């Protein structure tokens, strides 16, 4: 089985109106017509292409119409060939020709592919291209006495290719990297925060477990709350019992009045005071009222029985 896809070379020029026909799965090598880019051959005070690329925007600054341009450069002897092109314009043209970017293997400048051109080549009904001072230029065919036809079948393509920025017109690369970097940093910060918060939570859960074992608590909070409620009730009842008993032990009684019984059972306190007939209990009840004690009074002869719920 042969997995290698076949490829076809096409020459892309805005004057070609017909759609490009190619088989499904076939890959295209695209050569850009000189009308799709700007080129200059210049000497620059730098040695490498990488350094030269940093200067390209300023080199073309005043010579290009308004638009969003990409730049590239190649070494040509002691000089540099510098290019400016509009990705969006080329992509639109490819789209208009029915070429999907997925099917493109490589994109070349005609300048690089016809650098050894001798004479002129006719690229459409009215225009031809030829080398002038090592720069490939377009001219009306009527100016040129003899033009060859364009033959791509025998052309050997160079390795000098470009990649079109499909979305360069939406946002430029620098801004894109900045926004991307900010978002990535934000994501990292959030991840660190999640990790820190999660670690803190785990540490607190461990501390909680330690509290349970240190204080020998029961396994559930419900059980522990129930235990607390039970002992709080005991504490409340015992405090109240002592308080009520102290009220009676410190109570001012008449000489004839004597406490004969103090009884506490089933959370009820009974106090029996002898020498107090019905209608003469005011001196006792007024003292209880002043303390805010709720009580019931019953009589048996000269005995007064005070009943209080604890």
Q: 3-class SS at 20? A: coil
Closest separation between CB of residue 15 and another protein, Å?
23
Closest separation between CB of residue 246 and another protein, Å?
8
Of 172, 23, 37, the residue nearest 108 (C-alpha):
37
Q: Which is nearer to another protein, 63 or 300 (CB)?
A: 300
Task: Annotate 162-211 with three-state secondary structure.
Answer: ECCCCCCCCCCHHHHHHHHHHHHHHHHHHHHHHHHHHHHHHHHHHHHHHH
Tell me the window of 10-18, 109-117, 231-239, 276-284 that interacts with another protein (CB under 8 A): 231-239
Considering only 5, 148, 163, 254, the residue that binds another protein (CB under 8 A) is: 163
- d(CA 302, CA 309) in angstroms, rounded, equals 23
Interaction of residue 92 with another protein, rule CB under 8 A: no
Strand 104-109 vs strand 27-32: parallel, antiparallel, or unpaired?
A: parallel
- For the purposes of burial, counting CB atoms within 10 Å of the CB of 176, is it exposed (0-12), middle (13-18) or buried (19 or more)? middle
Task: Count other Cβ atoms within 10 Å, centred on residue 253.
Answer: 15
Q: Which is nearer to another protein, 126 or 158 (CB)?
A: 158
- d(CA 41, CA 293) in angstroms, rounded, equals 110
Considering only 64, 96, 152, 262, the residue that binds another protein (CB under 8 A) is: 262
C-alpha distance across the termini of the chain, in Å: 99
Interaction of residue 200 with another protein, rule CB under 8 A: yes
Considering only 126, 191, 282, 299, the residue that binds another protein (CB under 8 A) is: 191
Interaction of residue 96 with another protein, rule CB under 8 A: no
- For the purposes of burial, counting CB atoms within 10 Å of the CB of 117, is it exposed (0-12), middle (13-18) or buried (19 or more)? middle
Query: Footprint of another protein on residues 112-151 (CB under 8 A)?
Result: none
Considering only 258, 282, 296, 309, the residue that binds another protein (CB under 8 A) is: 258
Closest separation between CB of residue 212 and another protein, Å?
7
Measure the CA angle with vertex 122, ends 102 and 109; round to 5°.
Answer: 40
Tell me the window of 47-55, 115-123, 257-265, 295-303 that interacts with another protein (CB under 8 A): 257-265
Closest separation between CB of residue 299 and another protein, Å?
18
Q: Which is nearer to another protein, 255 or 265 (CB)?
A: 265
Q: 3-class SS at 127? A: strand
Query: Footprint of another protein on residues 167-186 (CB under 8 A)?
Result: 167, 170-171, 176, 179-180, 183-184, 186
Tell me the window of 16-24, 64-72, 215-223, 282-290 that interacts with another protein (CB under 8 A): 215-223
Per DSSP, the residues of 80-100 read EEEEEE-HHHHHHHHHHTT--
Q: 3-class SS at 219? A: coil
Sites of contact with another protein (CB under 8 A): 101-102, 104, 107, 163-167, 170-171, 176, 179-180, 183-184, 186-187, 190-191, 193-194, 197-198, 200-201, 204-205, 207-208, 211-212, 214-217, 221, 224-225, 227-228, 231-232, 234-235, 238, 241-242, 245-246, 258-265
């Amino acid at each position: 089985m042969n997995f290698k896809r076949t490829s076809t070379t096409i020459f892309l020029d805005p004057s070609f109106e017909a759609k490009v026909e190619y088989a499904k799965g076939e890959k295209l090598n695209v050569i850009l017509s000189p009308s799709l880019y700007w080129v200059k051959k210049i000497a620059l005070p730098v040695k490498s292409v990488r350094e030269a690329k940093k200067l390209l925007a300023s080199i073309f600054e005043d010579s290009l119409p308004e638009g969003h341009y990409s730049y590239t450069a190649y070494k040509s002897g002691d000089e540099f060939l510098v290019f400016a092109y509009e990705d969006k314009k080329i992509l639109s043209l490819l789209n208009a020709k029915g070429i999907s970017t997925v099917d493109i293997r490589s994109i070349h400048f005609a300048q690089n592919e016809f650098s050894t051109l001798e004479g002129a080549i006719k690229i459409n009904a009215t225009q031809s291209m030829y080398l002038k001072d090592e720069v490939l230029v377009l001219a009306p065919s009527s100016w040129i006495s003899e033009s060859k036809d364009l033959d791509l079948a025998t052309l050997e393509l160079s390795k000098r290719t470009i990649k079109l920025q499909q979305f360069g017109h939406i946002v430029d690369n620098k801004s894109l990297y900045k926004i991307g970097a900010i978002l990535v940093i934000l994501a990292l910060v959030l991840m660190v925060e999640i990790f820190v918060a999660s670690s803190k939570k785990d540490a607190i859960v461990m501390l909680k477990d330690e509290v349970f074992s240190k204080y020998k608590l029961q396994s559930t909070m419900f059980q522990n709350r129930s235990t607390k409620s039970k002992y709080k009730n005991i504490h409340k009842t015992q405090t109240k019992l002592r308080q009520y008993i102290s009220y009676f032990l410190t109570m001012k009684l008449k000489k004839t009045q004597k406490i004969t019984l103090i009884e506490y059972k089933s959370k009820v306190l009974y106090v029996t005071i002898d020498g107090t007939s019905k209608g003469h209990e005011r001196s006792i009840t007024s003292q209880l009222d002043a303390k805010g004690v709720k009580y019931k009074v019953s009589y048996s002869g000269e005995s007064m029985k005070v009943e209080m719920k604890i």
